[in-house]
Amino acid sequence: MTVQTITTQPFSDQKPGTSGLRKKVKVFEKPNYLENFVQCIFDTQRDREDAPLVLGGDGRYYNRQAIQIILRIAAANGCARVVLGQGGILSTPAASHLIRQHQARGGIILSASHNPGGPDEDFGIKFNTPNGGPAPEKVTEAIYRASLHINRYHTLDTPDIDLDCLGTASVGDMWVEIVDPVSAYADLMEQLFDFGQIRALFQSGFRMRFDAMHAVTGPYAREILEKRLGAPAGTVINGVPLEDFGHGHPDPNLVYAKELADYLFGADAPDFGAASDGDGDRNMVLGRHFFVTPSDSLAVILANAASAPGYRGRISGVARSMPTSQAADRVAAKLGLNCYETPTGWKFFGNLLDADKITLCGEESFGTGSDHVREKDGLWAVLFWLNILAARRQSVAEIVREHWRTYGRNYYTRHDYEAVDSDAANGLVDALRAKTVDLPGQKLGSYAVAYADDFRYLDPIDDSVSDKQGIRIGFQDGSRIVYRLSGTGTEGATLRVYVEAYEADQARHDLDTQQALAELIQIANDLAGIRERTGRNEPTVIT
């Protein structure tokens, strides 16, 4: 085996602060592009070099080619062993679990999450650290710095291996262990939830539909829901992963998972509906004629954690990303638990989970999870809901309404303006930041500003500081407006506006969300000058 060293050029495409590279496939197909990034990982991540590397992706277009390239570079860099999902497939939470189970040196996960896939769509790669989580900023910074100076990468001149055959293969001197992508993950779920109770629920005639959106969770959902839990065949729809997700947008929300939403709001609606995204880390949960916001979902799971054997009596605390509604805070307060507020992005939960400061965490962007892995986990959230439904034997709507009666309701919406001009978006945020200085004490419509700032996070475990994590404006009655720019879009900039209001009065718990928040939405639009600065009259997506 001779290692080939290929001369290459530095590149600076990874935005500092983002956990990996997410670009059009065409960009990844450029000579040496993927190779450079992978070499930068091996040049900088030298911990536990004797331990295996976990590798897999969401199966989107270019997944298989990328896996072969990465295997050769790994072998040429002296990597001794790779644990690879069969067919190159691993959902993001399953990859996180394998990293932990194998005490790996880390993992390389190939996905652009909820972004569309195909030759003209998106691809992505990220490195997860030995705790199973997305790389923290000091690691992504090191990879980014290496990318500015890289001038060569190492590879081998070996043929492609068969990715579909379970067992052991070799690339040069490196062993590749090809494992079933589903079984270890399904076993883990069986330890956390009361499968017997959920099986009994299905036996009682309970009906659900899970929409895998032709993305990675199809095989996971079939194995867990239909095989292990006995849900009727056909419970999982769009269950065959496709390289282009069947031309869909594998983002589980009311806009992109419309087929599912229409069914759950239709005449023949089942008891429960759920969907997951491209790489399986997001979830949307619906009841019959009822949508559960991700922020409420976290709060309900926290309040009902004792339903699940894996969580009974062992919740240490909870965390939510800053723009996520404060519904979970209210539950935490009642339970006497700490509730941490972190910047957007799962990596910020890692330290808190590792230190057992928190057991559960979530984001408004359809992400919920716990200390069982170090990624958010779509199917896990669905199973948690099933466990709660099986224990309580009430409908989703009854459970959430009862929750609001106990804790009050946090009305919540997010307005996304996608693919806006980057300069316009940056200008908008800069202008808002300047405004925050004068806002406290002012009255905007009927709302009095209590505080306004650009969120700065001090990590309580390692004291690292993350600045400029979003403009937030808090009002005296607990309502909030938050603005931030997306770090995951691949076209121009995406402006996200998050609006939240608290309603204690039970008589006002059944309002339409957009109407309940209408005045705050107007304030948010006017304050930022969204129309003038972006030329947009309305958001691209409202969730």
User: Which run of H or E residues covers position 329?
Assistant: helix 327-335
3-state secondary structure of 165: coil
Size of the site for ligand VG1 (CB under 6 A): 17
If binding is defined by CB under 6 A, does position 372 make contact with ligand VG1?
Answer: no
d(CA 4, CA 138): 30
* Binding window for ligand VG1 (CB under 6 A); candidates: 287-295, 304-312, 402-410, 481-489: 481-489
| Out of 486, 492, 540, 542, the residue judged to bind ligand VG1 by CB under 6 A | 486
On the CB side of 488, CA atoms within 13 Å amount to 17
d(CA 381, CA 366): 10
| Out of 100, 105, 114, 409, the residue judged to bind ligand VG1 by CB under 6 A | 114
Output 373 or 523, the one with its CB closest to Co ion: 373
**Dihedral through CA 14, CA 15, CA 16, CA 17, nearest 10?**
-110
If binding is defined by CB under 5 A, does position 279 make contact with Co ion?
Answer: yes
| Out of 63, 113, 253, 488, the residue judged to bind Co ion by CB under 5 A | 113
If binding is defined by CB under 6 A, does position 365 make contact with ligand VG1?
Answer: yes
113 is catalytic: yes
* Binding window for ligand VG1 (CB under 6 A); candidates: 74-82, 158-166, 221-229, 483-491: 483-491
Question: Which x/- pattern over 251-290 shows residues binding ligand VG1 (rule: CB under 6 A)?
Answer: --------------------------x---xx--------
Question: Which x/- pattern over 490-509 shows residues binding ligand VG1 (rule: CB under 6 A)?
Answer: ------x-------------
If binding is defined by CB under 5 A, does position 58 make contact with Co ion?
Answer: no
Nearest CA to 164 among 68, 62, 34?
A: 68
The closest residue (CB) to ligand VG1 is 113
Q: For the chain, how far is it from start to end, CA to CA, in angstroms?
A: 53
* Binding window for Co ion (CB under 5 A); candidates: 35-43, 107-115, 331-339, 402-410: 107-115
Which residues between 431 and 460 bind ligand VG1 (CB under 6 A)?
Answer: none
Which residues between 335 and 364 bind ligand VG1 (CB under 6 A)?
Answer: 344-346, 363
DSSP letters for 218-287 = HHHHIIIIIIIS-PPTTSEES-S--TTGGG-----STTTTHHHHHHHTSTT--SEEEEE-TTS-BEEEEE
| Out of 277, 377, 459, 500, the residue judged to bind Co ion by CB under 5 A | 277
DSSP letters for 408-443 = -EEEEEEEEEEEE-HHHHHHHHHHHHHHHTT-TT-E
By a kind-dependent CB cut-off of 5 to 8 A, residue 346 interacts, out of ligand VG1, Co ion, none, with ligand VG1
Which residues between 320 and 339 bind ligand VG1 (CB under 6 A)?
Answer: 321
d(CA 72, CA 43): 15
Residue 357 Cα distances to 368, 461, 529, angstroms = 16, 9, 40
Output 113 or 342, the one with its CB closest to Co ion: 113
3-state secondary structure of 32: coil
| Least distance from ligand VG1 to the Cβ atom of residue 232, Å | 29
**Active-site entry in 19, 91, 111, 113:** 113
Contact residues for Co ion, defined by CB under 5 A = 113, 277, 279, 281-282
Q: Which residues are marked as active site?
A: 113
